[in-house]
Amino acid sequence: MNETNEIRGVIREFIEGIAMRSMRDMTRYVKSTALSMPQFSLLMRLYYGGGCEVHDIGRDFDVSSAAASQLVDRLVQSGLVARTENPEDRRVRQIELSAKGRALVDKGIEQRYRWVDELVSVLSSEERSVLLASLPLLIAAEKRLPGGVRPGENVHAIRAPRERSRE
């Protein structure tokens, strides 16, 4: 096996492990909150992308305006999302994460990454040094790839290119 294929294989194995642990822990957390995955996904969308209008939710989640409205209504009733008037157009309703919703998402993110503390605790000092020297290189390389999205950036970029072109 050549070096490129070996690196590719190691990175894929690592990503698969991370993805499985992350998804498992997030799914467990969401189930413990009695929310559905679409409800929690909406909270995550607001957490990372900020407030928006209901029609933005329909577009981002590829659901009808009525379905988006129902999803938002349930979260408003739970106190996890606040609905306000747009100061520029009072007919338009803005939605944003409430303090209760933000706390719920913060706890979910904490739960999703809890295993990282366990992972670091089983590494030797030498292994930690190697990772501190090499992982920043991998992170920098990933950032150079086109189409990346970072927390706090426009979440509309997450949609598939086909969907973005419909706007």
In order of start, what are the domains of the chain with their CATH numbers? 3-164 (1.10.10.10)
Hey, how many other C-beta atoms are within 10 angstroms of the C-beta on 141? 9
What confidence score (pLDDT) does residue 87 get?
Answer: 76
**pTM assigned to the model:** 0.75
Stretch 74-91: mean pLDDT, rounded? 87
Cα dihedral across residues 41, 45, 46, 47: positive or negative: positive
More confident residue, 102 or 58: 102
What is residue 154's three-state secondary structure? coil
Mean pLDDT of 117-139: 94
Q: How far apart are CA 81 and CA 50, in angstroms?
A: 11
